Amino acid sequence: MLKEAIYHRAGNNYAYAYDEKTLHIRLRTKKGDADKVSLIYGDPYDWTKEGWQTSSSPMTLSGTDEWFDYYLIEIQPPFRRLRYGFEISSGDETVVYTEKGFYEEAPFDDTAYYFCFPFLNAIDVFRAPSWVKDTVWYQIFPERFANGDTSNDPEGAVAWGSEEPKLNNFFGGDFQGVIDHIDHLVKLGITGIYFTPIFKAKSNHKYDTIDYLEIDPQFGDKETFKKLVKVCHENGIKVMLDAVFNHSGYYFEPFQDVLKNEEKSRYKNWFHLREFPIVTEPRPNYDTFAFEKTMPKLNTENPEVREYLLKVARYWIEEFDIDGWRLDVANEVDHSFWREFRTAVKSAKPEAYILGEIWHDSMDWLQGDQFDAVMNYPFTNAALEFVAKETIDAKVFAEKITAVMHMYPENVNEAAFNLLGSHDTKRVLNFCEGNKDKMKLLFLLMLTFKGTPCIYYGDEIGMTGEIDPGCRKCMEWDEEKQDLDLFNHIQSLLSLRKEHNVLANEGKLSFISANDKTLVYEKSSYDDSIMILLNAGDQPVEKAFIVPEGYELLFGNDASEEMMPYGFSMYKKK
C-alpha cells in the first residue's frame, strides 16, 4: 500500500456540510491500491464505561482519475459533530489512517487521534441560489446580438454584419434588439441571460468602464433596460450583468483626475500608482489588467473604492431587479472585498447569483463566503480536447472530468457555470474545424453534465469565428443562413434536460466505460437512470453497447447494433 498517496483534510472538498444535516467525507488513495475503505467515526463526547462509542461504515468509490481513486461517504451525525478516521485494506495489509498518521489498529483511548468536524453550523453550509441548478444561460455580447433601435447607434457604426468584426468597429447592437428577439431564446429553452458589460465605456466590448452607474447610450437608456429585465422575467428568464471591479477604464473620472492632478489628486489612492509622474509607455508605471494602459487596476483595499463599488453592486439589483453578477478577473481582487461584496449583494437580493471569472482551481473563493460559482473552464478544456481537438481519448477524458468533479464539494458542483466557448475564445465550431457532428457531441456532454450550462450567442445556429475579435460577429438573423438542424439538436437536449431532472443536477454522474473514442456514462438518482453513449471517432463502432434489461432508447441512434461516427445514444430506465 502506497501510504504517501493517501490524503484527507478535514475541510474544503474533503469534508464539508452538504446540507444542514449531512456531511460528505472523501478520501484519496493511489489508483487501484485499496480493496476496501471504511470510515470509523463517532461523537467525540459519546463515552461509556466501555470507552469511546464508534461505528464503521463502508465508503463508496466515487471516481478515478489519472493517479488516484476517490472514496465518499454521507454521514448524518445525530449531534452534528464528528471525530473520524479511515480503515484501508489492500491485499493482506490493513491500516487505520487518522489525523496523527497510520496505525495497525485503531486507537480508541483518545479522540484526539482522529480528524475532527467540530460542529455542523447551518450558516456554514455552502448555498448557491436554488434556481441556478435548473437554469440554462445564454451569453449575449450586447453590441453584436441585434440592433433594434438605430437612433442610438454610436458614431461611425456600420450596417449590421456588413463587415468582419474588428477591435474597434461598431454595429449598433442594443437592448431593444434583445427585446425584439426574446422569442428566439424562449423557443430554444433559455432561462437565463448573461450580458457582457453594459455600462458606459469607450470600447465595443465595454470592459473599460467609464461610469459604473450609467448605461452606455449605444444600448439604450435605463427605462429600456428596465423594460428588458421585465420582459425577460415575464418569459421565465433571469438576468445577470458583468462587472469589472478589478480595473476601471482609462476615462473613468477618478483616473482622469489622477492623470490631471498627479500626486495632488484626491483619487490617487483609488489606484495602485507606483510613482509620479504617471507614464503609460512603454509600460505603465501603475498596476493594470495585464499591461493594458487603458485598464488601471482599482485599489479595492481603499474604503472609498469599496464603498463606491458596493453601491454599484446594490444599485443594479435594487433599481432594476437583476438576478446576478458575473465578475471579471475575479481572482486578482482581494478576498476581503469579495466577502463584503457578497454581504452587500445578498442583503439586496438573497437569491442573487454571484459568478467569478476564474480559470483555475478556485476552492479559496468557493467556501460559501464569496462566490456561488466560477466559470468551469477545466470542464471546457477537457471536453474540447476529447471531442473537438481529439488530443485525448475517452479514458483520459473520464479521468480529467473525475478530477474536475472532485476539485470541489458536491453542492458547489451543482452550481458550476459550464461553457464550451465565450467572447474570450474562438467559436466552438471553429474548435471543431467545421465538423457539426462534433459540435453536437459537445453540447450533449455539457447539457448532461452537473451544473448550469451556458450557450454563447449564435453557437446554437452554427456561427463561426476565431478568437477575439472574430468570435464577436453580428448575430445571424437570416434563417436561411442559420443551421436549424443544430438549433433543433440543442433545443431537443434542453427539452430532455427539463423533462428529466436526472440529466441536470439531480443525477449522479458515473462513468461506466471509456474505451478509445467510445464513452458511456450514467446519470442516476434514487428513482431514475439514463445512460449516455457517444462515439467521438470518425469510424463506426459495431455493437458498441449492450443495452441493460429494462432500458429503452430515449434519444439518438440505437448503439446495440452500430454506433455511427460521432454518434450518440441516450437510454432511459423504464
- Whether the predicted pLDDT of 424 surpasses 90: yes
How high is the pLDDT of residue 296?
Answer: 98
Three-state secondary structure call for residue 38: strand
Is pLDDT of 561 > 90?
Answer: no
Spell out the residues 6+ positions from residue 364 whose beta carbon is closer than 8 angstroms to its own: 335
Alpha-helical segments (H) within 262-375: 303-320, 335-348
Residue 372 pLDDT: 98
Q: What is the reported pLDDT for 527?
A: 85
Q: What does pLDDT average to over the chain?
A: 96
- Of all residues in the chain, what percent carry a pLDDT higher than 70? 100
Burial 103-128 (b: 16+ CB within 10 A, else e): eeebbeeebebbbbbeebeeeebbbb
Catalytic amino acids? 328, 357
Is the pLDDT confidence value at 92 over 80?
yes
Per-residue pLDDT, 562: 86
DSSP 3-state of 42? strand
279-316 pLDDT tens trace = 999 999 999 999 999 999 999 999 999 999 999 999 99
Q: What band does 559 get if pLDDT is binned at 50, 70 and 90?
A: confident
- The answer on pLDDT for 486 being more than 90 is yes
pLDDT band at 546 (very low <50, low <70, confident <90, very high): confident
The string of pLDDT tens digits covering residues 372-420 is: 999 999 999 999 999 999 999 999 999 999 999 999 999 999 999 999 9
Sheet-wide strand order for 551-556: 508-515, 518-525, 528-535, 568-573, 551-556
- Distances in whole angstroms, Cα of residue 235 to Cα of each of 164, 173, 184, 195, 519: 33, 21, 11, 17, 36
Question: Quick one: pLDDT band at residue 427, thresholds 50, 70, 90?
Answer: very high
C-alpha closest to that of 386 among 275, 267, 519, 296: 519
- Grid cell at residue 163: 463587415
Write the pLDDT tens digit of every residue in 166-177: 999 999 999 999
Q: How far apart are CA 416 and CA 451, in angstroms?
A: 5
pLDDT in tens, 243-263: 999 999 999 999 999 999 999
Which residues make Cβ contacts (< 8 Å) with residue 433, sequence separation at least 6? 388
Q: What digits encode the pLDDT tens for the residues 14-36?
A: 999 999 999 999 999 999 999 99
Task: Encode pLDDT of 347-366 as tens digits.
Answer: 999 999 999 999 999 999 99
pLDDT value at position 395?
Answer: 97
Alpha-carbon gap, residue 524 to 448, rounded angstroms:
11
